[in-house]
Structure 1
């Protein structure tokens, strides 16, 4: 039986269909201005008449490669993960919605400059046209992308500032009794470091007389694909893009290149509030006045079974920012950067800069809050920026800890100008390095001096990668792209430089009658003669990594000064007995899991990609490749964070070197790159693992940057929405 609809419903359906038809015509017209070339590695090269056309084609191509990752990033950014994954994500969503208010973000979109609105419009059009032309793709949640949504994810870091807020503490403060026994998963800040390496080489140290740049982010694998976008309006950017964003996050154009490394320049502060309820409303003390806390009801949805349920939480805001927990009777508010439109502007406009003056102008927007930047250009400049968003503070306070939010002297006093921050331009030594390490060794003896800056400018400590980077760059000359790759993959694990001798000393001190003396004799001989270099055939690497990991675990209860180099601390402050016990445990673990402690690193450390789930799954019984790289924690410049899983004995990589590139800036730009696995997220695509073997061997592919090379190496050429 066909149910008749009221005439007004028919009219509304007609209108809806009409709008859809208009949208479709608009998308098709946009697609006519776009051409996509897929090269021999499946890398998309997008050519558009305008920047907006290039954005349209670029996001369409991203969706072709992995729509799931595009959508999930925006589900998360908008605070809607609980609608997909259930109550375990409810407070992660609440954390996001402390800052993301749909009505506010829509207004920000409407007030954005016309050029940026055009890019956001094209972005939404590209995703929606992909969904229209691929009805077999079923979104988890977002069936229609709107332009304002681009503002919710405007900075491409893997772990943004908001992630420093504990979801368990949020729940304990705001919603303690709801599912009282629910324990939420926090980001493990002790896990494999998600950092990055950036090297810049001045012309005087290169064989060609051109500046060189290493782009080496350490992210979870498949977090960023490789993309090339070109327009007739001056855009020609190549590099890594975070899924769903429309700007090249770490990359280069014909004139310059930029590499972001995670920073500890202080961009976030916590303020203790003295709070009282007065006349039915919460107030906090500031100076001698009691200010009312702003109250905001935040609606949340979450999936339970087959239902979508709703819950509201009332959040409190001070002028310092939202309240995120309670400590010792004080409410604690957090201050961090909230500049969505400016951040998106900075992220995009830097991809079109033609010299350092233009690039520095984008840095003056001061919204790249969690990153350092290593830069090189065609004019021969090499530059380093430590942080970008740094509030001006009173140095009498300890900004590493919670400060008194009732004291007006703790208020931020604007932002430091770029020239006031830690900054290096064309140092005399001819190279710059940053490996998430202290900026005070970034240019060797020509580095900035710590005493010239407030402490909050750089809490960063030296790490094993930083030590190795300085070592391999010092006194080197005649750099080429090939030798820059060699430097970036130099395999020494500097963390063990103080550790192995300390273990040898502890072993030598064992009495001859101690049964451990004989049990550990042979592995100790191998470890003592090990050259500290990680590699697939190295047994010393296996012994060192298993022992070092065990020693760190055993030593977690020790009180380590925050500013002490961790491996000197472990070498000097753990007892001989702890070192020996940890070594014995490591030997036993290797023997149990692999049949012998005498197991080379490549038999343990593997690369495998068999599914495209965001949280990867691994299987010992399926094929995998040996990998010689190691954890960035131990100082492996080529970072490879691996571990065993509940169903595996072998260790499988899931974070570290992902997209890596080396670039030379001359009359023509030259570049080589490599991806972990491959470009496509489709396990049935030839580009799912076609780069895996090269990746495991540290072999780079040639980047097809100029159109003649793109055309020569193109395997597919098409317009979005049309058959290939």
Structure 2
């Protein structure tokens, strides 16, 4: 018995030692928010005050010291995110994730981001002040890599840390630039031309606003090759472990509209939900420079920022900066393609990708002067006989990359004129740049390299590459871009809506429905002519009214035939008649609206497609608003029936019955329990959280979530197999700057400042975010010192 007791005691002691060692090891991986550290390259001591949400307020003697310090503290909270972002654009994710991201790496390598940035760096003006500051920031990152704890993700994936270089900064912003553009819809539209007749496509594809358009005739293409292209691009983007950018809201109010006679500014870029959150907040202060900014991982200058003088933010312009072209290959020499009256040589580039747990994979990229072929031999598949080659032309790689210099310029401007001088450097991605200042100026610029196409040529389809007739005939100078500066309305706004015409043409692109978010912004700003406050702005940012929701339901209810409905259904109609279009957690109308709209769409469009897969691939992306208000539309006819022609009334009545049965199956028999919180939820996914056993440690949520796609609190979603809606895109920050009290401006992040799951700031804002709350963006030094939880001092290393 004594031996057993000794054995148990020994085992207990061993277990205690293992647990203690594990605890000590885990704690070594957490970020350091207090104490003292030596940092090489500093001219003077720098002090970092971390406020209660982990936002670093960096006080330094000069800007290089501030950027070097920023690099260190940014890396300790976001090194894993930095690693993913720099790898995405340069095609190096497969070193981490193996075969899962192989096609993603091939796609991004084929775009030529890496080579384009090499060329930009080779021609770089190294005397530009942005370069010294960028290198100081990178030096801070690299000192953390050398001396700081290794984030847990590196241990779990077996990845070794590597130093960061300037090219990584360029690759990171280029990757984010590609996720802004939605040009791949050109493939979907061209596929639709193979499936649908001309009468149906004409109704769908007229330009917005209505003007004449020649829809190209590409009905001689094999749909299988276009399916392959669409699948490849979709697969490349879906397997990215980093969020895509979808859209955004912003509005800026001039002094005439505000209670305190100073500019009020709001901005909330909409980005795919993910963990960590995309933005890192930091406040830098030197004797000559101050900026409170939102930073991308591994990028030294903030994309969103403000100080005591001015504020700026971005939304996605949604212009079409990616076009696809059919290329004609020589009938006997596969190394040649036709352009106008000559045969040109394809460019061939061989790349090798390191793949975890596999041999390195080599593949060949085939390019025209426009860009890579997206269905050439690097797709590792047998081409269909007669398949037409398609190239991709992305404006980002066609012009010199000066985005870093542009970001430096707008963050160092002292007035509106200096600010606008840096905007031409941002040629892609296309952005709506929103601006306000303490002098009372409000402004909006569309920044992009815009172009003019031949008359009536639509860029929303695959174009003719061989003839050259579908090439842009002119690239516009920046002074021709759309803009609005101090308008008579006393406000500017953007919700990814179609901008006004410029240079006698409308900007081609994939713009958001202006009757939803944009229309809601105008309604609210026009309803309250003056007296706006910061609280009003916050309430508006969290608005959950779908502007078109109640109108759609009322239109449906008018068409419903009461005969044959049950007492329950009739009672439920009263609920829907009084529904105000709000998507609150307890709303009874919200769920029925989403299901009803989806079923109207299905019953309206699906009969024109031969299979469910075909409808899901192409038909599901058709816009209901193009057809719904036209009772004479060809689309209302169900071609699968023998009846002469179905009517709008018949389709709507069928959709109502389908929706009722669907909700009874998914949510139960009692319609009084069909509330929005039961179906709509937000979960912040971490790439490592894809492993089921690790999900609870890395993924944040789920939380029931108010709002929906198209409300100002924009909560786009994807329907799950169980019928619930998992939020897929959200406001990546809600940010309000008030120049009457700039030191008390407010913001919020979806989860927290840190990307380190062991940090106390990993998810400390998550519940505040879903509740629509805000926190202060502190700028007053005494306020910062008094409210900081931690202080970290950096001293020059001997």
Q: Give the Å deviation of 1:638.
A: 0.9
Q: Give the Å deviation of 1:340.
A: 6.4
Alignment of 1:681 with 2:755, yes or no, is: yes
Q: Give the Å deviation of 1:201.
A: 0.6
User: Helix, strand or coil for the counterpart of 2:492?
Assistant: strand
User: Helix, strand or coil for the counterpart of 1:35?
Assistant: strand
Give the unaligned 5+ runs of structure 1. 1-24, 440-447
- The Cα offsets for residues 278-317 of structure 1, whole Å up to 9 and x where unpaired, read as 6x562222222222222222222323xx33x223222222
User: Helix, strand or coil for the counterpart of 2:83?
Assistant: helix
Q: Given that residues 71 and 139 in structure 2 are in contact (C-alpha distance below 8 angstroms), is that contact kept between their aligned partners in structure 1? A: no
State the Cα RMSD in Å: 4.0
Q: Given that residues 324 and 393 in structure 2 are in contact (C-alpha distance below 8 angstroms), is that contact kept between their aligned partners in structure 1? A: yes
**Counterpart in the other structure of 1:120:** 134
**Counterpart in the other structure of 1:21:** none
Match of 1:711 among 764, 769, 785: 785
Q: Aligned in 2, Cα 1:282/1:461: closer, same or farther, shift over 3 Å?
A: farther
**Counterpart in the other structure of 1:499:** 552
Using the alignment, how far apart are the partners of 2:280 and 2:508 within structure 1? 35
Using the alignment, how far apart are the partners of 1:95 and 1:182 within structure 2? 8
Q: Given that residues 480 and 503 in structure 2 are in contact (C-alpha distance below 8 angstroms), is that contact kept between their aligned partners in structure 1? A: no
Alignment of 1:532 with 2:546, yes or no, is: no
Match of 1:152 among 162, 171, 185: 171
**Counterpart in the other structure of 1:379:** 439
Q: Where does 1:126-145 land on structure 2 (aligned, <5 Å)?
A: 126-137=140-151, 139=154, 140=159, 142-145=161-164
Q: Where does 1:49-64 land on structure 2 (aligned, <5 Å)?
A: 49-64=61-76
**Counterpart in the other structure of 1:266:** 320
Match of 1:640 among 688, 706, 715: 715
Using the alignment, how far apart are the partners of 2:686 and 2:700 within structure 1? 13
Alignment of 1:579 with 2:652, yes or no, is: yes
Q: Where does 1:337-356 land on structure 2 (aligned, <5 Å)?
A: 337-338=396-397, 339=399, 341-356=401-416
**Counterpart in the other structure of 1:254:** 308
**Counterpart in the other structure of 1:83:** 95
Using the alignment, how far apart are the partners of 2:80 and 2:287 within structure 1? 31
Q: Give the Å deviation of 1:49.
A: 3.6
**Counterpart in the other structure of 1:16:** none
Match of 1:400 among 428, 447, 460: 460
Using the alignment, how far apart are the partners of 1:609 and 1:410 within structure 2? 42
**Counterpart in the other structure of 1:70:** 82
**Counterpart in the other structure of 2:569:** 520
**Counterpart in the other structure of 2:430:** 370
Q: Give the Å deviation of 1:233.
A: 7.2
Q: Given that residues 683 and 701 in structure 2 are in contact (C-alpha distance below 8 angstroms), is that contact kept between their aligned partners in structure 1? A: yes
Using the alignment, how far apart are the partners of 1:119 and 1:340 within structure 2? 21
Q: Give the Å deviation of 1:44.
A: 1.8
Using the alignment, how far apart are the partners of 1:350 and 1:659 within structure 2? 20
Q: Aligned in 2, Cα 1:158/1:660: closer, same or farther, shift over 3 Å?
A: farther
**Counterpart in the other structure of 1:287:** 340
Using the alignment, how far apart are the partners of 1:335 and 1:661 within structure 2? 35
Q: Given that residues 165 and 324 in structure 1 are in contact (C-alpha distance below 8 angstroms), is that contact kept between their aligned partners in structure 2? A: no
**Counterpart in the other structure of 1:210:** 262
Alignment of 1:335 with 2:393, yes or no, is: yes
Using the alignment, how far apart are the partners of 1:375 and 1:563 within structure 2? 33
Using the alignment, how far apart are the partners of 1:529 and 1:341 within structure 2? 53
Alignment of 1:109 with 2:121, yes or no, is: yes
**Counterpart in the other structure of 2:218:** none
Normalising by structure 1, what TM-score? 0.82
**Counterpart in the other structure of 1:388:** 448
Q: Given that residues 318 and 430 in structure 2 are in contact (C-alpha distance below 8 angstroms), is that contact kept between their aligned partners in structure 1? A: yes
Q: Aligned in 2, Cα 1:482/1:550: closer, same or farther, shift over 3 Å?
A: same
Using the alignment, how far apart are the partners of 1:623 and 1:80 within structure 2? 26
Give the number of the structure with larger relative contact order, counting CA–CA contacts within 8 Å between residues 6 or more apart.
2
Q: Give the Å deviation of 1:388.
A: 1.8
Using the alignment, how far apart are the partners of 2:795 and 2:104 within structure 1? 36
Q: Give the Å deviation of 1:500.
A: 0.4
Q: Using the TM superposition, name which of 249-258 and 411-420 deviates more.
A: 411-420
Using the alignment, how far apart are the partners of 2:620 and 2:503 within structure 1? 18
How many residues align structurally? 671
Q: Give the Å deviation of 1:197.
A: 0.3
Q: Aligned in 2, Cα 1:375/1:502: closer, same or farther, shift over 3 Å?
A: same
Q: Aligned in 2, Cα 1:295/1:430: closer, same or farther, shift over 3 Å?
A: same
Q: Given that residues 457 and 470 in structure 2 are in contact (C-alpha distance below 8 angstroms), is that contact kept between their aligned partners in structure 1? A: yes
